Amino acid sequence: MMSSHPGGSGSEKQSWTERRRQKIRAEIERNRRGEYTVPTWVLALALAAMVVACALLVILA
C-alpha cells in the first residue's frame, strides 16, 4: 500500500544551516560514545613528519 504524505507548508525542506547543525550534533554524539576516528590526512601528515625527522637525523648526524 502507498502511504500518503500531506503536502503544503509542513513538508518544507530543511535549510542548509539546519542540516549542518544536525550533522555537527550527530558527530559530537558519536565522539562522546567513543566512535571518534582520526582523519586519514592527519595520519598521513604525522607519518610524513616522522619520516622527515628520521631522514634529517641521519643526514645531519
Sequence spans of domains, the chain: 14-60
Q: 2 pLDDT exceeds 60?
A: no
Over 60: is that where the pLDDT of 1 sits? no
**C-alpha angle 44/37/27, rounded to 5°?**
130
* Percent of the chain clearing pLDDT 90 (strictly above): 52
pLDDT value, residue 11 = 46
Q: pLDDT class for 35, splitting at 50, 70, 90?
A: confident
- Provide the whole-model pTM: 0.47
Cell numbers for 40, please give them: 586519514
Q: What is the DSSP letter of 2?
A: P
Question: Are 56 and 48 a contacting pair, CB within 8 Å?
Answer: no
What does the alpha-carbon distance between residue 25 and residue 31 come to, in Å, rounded to a whole number?
10
CB of 30 closer than 8 Å to CB of 24: no
Q: Is a pLDDT exceeding 80 seen at residue 20?
A: yes
For residues 45 and 39, the answer to whether their CB atoms sit within 8 Å is: no
